[in-house]
Copies of this chain bind each other. A is one copy, B any other.
């Protein structure tokens, strides 16, 4: 197969290099041999490769510009991102070309970030950071995670990994997802329609679903009010999952005990935005799932897993469903 790996210009940290490809190929010798593989990071380099390319590996940030330039033999586009909602509508994608994401790449780092956020909520770190900003010593005793009840919305690579970490530390884990089916890390799995009755029972809520019309704004002002006084919120999905202003209100009034947010509306959060001074809030700049040391290696492993499935006549596990949006 003719494979082309196109990096962003001026992005040394996430560059898809021949070394990375060769290392991934060595890990999957059964499916990596016999291909012609090229690399580029400029539009001219793409134009040069495009007439022959059958599989394109690139970042979501540029795929919508590259593909419409024409690639008559293109069969599959593998994006090194999991959430591809910004690429909708998908009319830039020629009919019959498979779009794939790198779902699974983020699991290890995201699981550790989620565990960290739960531990920070149990130890009141968001409140202590607020006290630190005010130069005030304000002790408050925390708790261990064991026995506490966490609700994890979304049980994909991110949410599933967080659920697993929470379970290992003895938490009671309730998962929420569209398809109500058991999950190894969850004591219970319920559908999105059970969320209203679940929220008042949660000590902590972790949001990690894809952003779709069904999840957009799911944690709105009404549902935030359903949470227990002192409950904690973690968002690792997308900023638009939450009514951000309602969340800030609930943190500033003290209804919620704390929040750890990695995603926001908009990003970057502009200077002067109320988020920066909201009480009992820890912010990280959309980095919860990204580990440069393992990101591209894992993405390429997943790409090769999908090539193997294609060769074996199986469905490609990372094929993105354009209709459901994940």
Q: Which residues in A have some Cβ–Cβ distance to B below 8 Å?
A: 13, 108-109, 112-113, 115-116, 119-120, 122-125, 128-129, 131-133, 135-146, 168-169, 267-269, 271-273, 276-277, 282-288, 290-294
Contact A282 B129 (CB under 8 A): yes
Question: Which of A132, A140, A293 has the largest count of B CB atoms less than 10 A from its CB?
Answer: A132
Given the known A-B contacts A108-B144, A128-B285, are A268 and B116 also in contact in the complex, defined by CB atoms under 8 Å?
no
A-B contact pairs, 20 of them (CB 8 A): A108-B144, A109-B144, A112-B119, A112-B144, A112-B145, A113-B142, A115-B119, A119-B119, A124-B284, A124-B287, A128-B283, A128-B284, A128-B285, A135-B271, A137-B268, A139-B286, A141-B290, A142-B291, A143-B292, A168-B168
What are the residues of chain B within 8 A of A144 when measuring CB–CB?
108-109, 112, 291, 294
Closest B residue, CB atoms, query A271: B135
- Identical copies of this chain, number: 2
A276→B141 contact, CB < 8 A: no
When C-beta atoms are compared, the residue in chain B nearest to A168 turns out to be B168
Q: Which residues of B contact A143 (CB under 8 A)?
A: 109, 291-293
A276 near B109: Cβ-Cβ < 8 Å? no
* B141 & A272 in contact (Cβ 8 Å cutoff): no
Contacts of A108 in B (CB 8 A): 144, 146
Contact yes or no, B287 A140, CB < 8 A: yes
Known: A119-B112, A143-B291. A136 touches B283 (CB 8 A): no
What residue of chain B has the Cβ atom nearest to residue A128's Cβ? B284
A101 to chain B, nearest CB (A): 19
Give the distance to chain B from A127, nearest Cβ to Cβ, in Å: 10
Shortest Cβ distance from A283 into B: residue: B132
CB distance B287 to A141 under 8 Å? yes
Given A13-B141, A271-B135, the answer on whether A123 and B128 have CB atoms closer than 8 Å is: no
In the bound complex, CA of A125 to CA of B283 (Å): 8
How far apart are the CA atoms of A140 and B13 in the complex, in Å? 11
Q: Say whether A285 contacts B116, CB under 8 Å.
A: no
Q: Which residues of B contact A112 (CB under 8 A)?
A: 119, 122-123, 144-145, 169
